[in-house]
Amino acid sequence: MVAWAYRDYEYPAVSSYAPPVQRLVTELSKLPGIGSRTAQRLAFHILRASSEDATGLAEAIREVKERIGLCDVCFNLTDETRCLICTDLRRDHGLICVVEEPSDVIPMERTHEYSGVYHVLGGALSPIDGIDPEDLKIAELFLRIEGDHTPPVRELVLATNPTTTGETTALHIAEELRGRAPHLTVTRLASGLPVGSDLEYADEVTLGKAFAGRRAV
């Protein structure tokens, strides 16, 4: 008589949720930063919500996917051919801030310190991941700078992330512009110690950046 080897037998995972609920949990768990437990809580929150609220959420997602595209000029998100920033005549169109993603525009605007316009690259250079200059909106950036625009572009602020890929992207653009537009002022966002932080908690790279970017007081 042969005994069953229960430990070696793998039972298929059986969900205790109805298929529509399980599908909702699965789709929610695909969102960044959302694990299975958070996805379950969100799913049950949607189930408890009124039909109007649930339908409003579904309609908002559908509308975003159908109507939102990229600005023809800066490649920020918009529901028109040009975004609100590019069409704002009060902005300084001779000053362009280069960022990696549309989401990077939001914190820049929150500072209320920047009055120019933007250029969204759509990512950062990463040869390991197969992301080359032609995969980003770098050529379009050069066209904006070299074209006959009024007012002409006088300064470019490189605001890519202070990561390896972000630094590589900033250096590539700066090197190209030295030959293409030697008259153009190219700047980089300062990096270093955050306001209110203690030196003992700063790492060597952050301290090095702070020393390199020191200024007179």
pLDDT in tens, 114-150: 999 999 999 999 999 999 999 999 999 999 998 777 8
- In the prediction, which pLDDT does 86 show? 97
Q: What local confidence, expressed as pLDDT, does residue 149 receive?
A: 78
Q: Where in the chain is the domain with CATH 3.40.1360.10?
A: 89-196+205-210
Strand 116-120 relative to strand 77-78, pairing:
unpaired
- Residues of the chain with pLDDT below 70 are 1-15, 199, 215-217
CATH for 16-67 is 1.10.8.420
pLDDT confidence of residue 190: 83
Residues 6+ apart with CB under 8 A from 181: 145, 146, 153
Q: List, in sequence order, every beta strand (DSSP E) within 171-215.
A: 185-188
Question: The tokens of 120 are what?
Answer: 């969204």
Who's near 42: CB < 8 A, 6+ residues apart?
28, 34
Task: Please count the residues of the chain.
Answer: 217
Q: How many CB atoms neighbour CB 193 within 10 A?
A: 16
All CATH 1.10.8.420 domain ranges of the chain, comma separated, are 16-67
Question: In terms of CATH architecture, what is 89-196+205-210?
Answer: 3-Layer(aba) Sandwich (3.40)
How far is it, in rounded angstroms, from Cα 42 to Cα 23?
13
The two structure tokens encoding residue 24: 């909702």
Output the pTM of the full model: 0.82
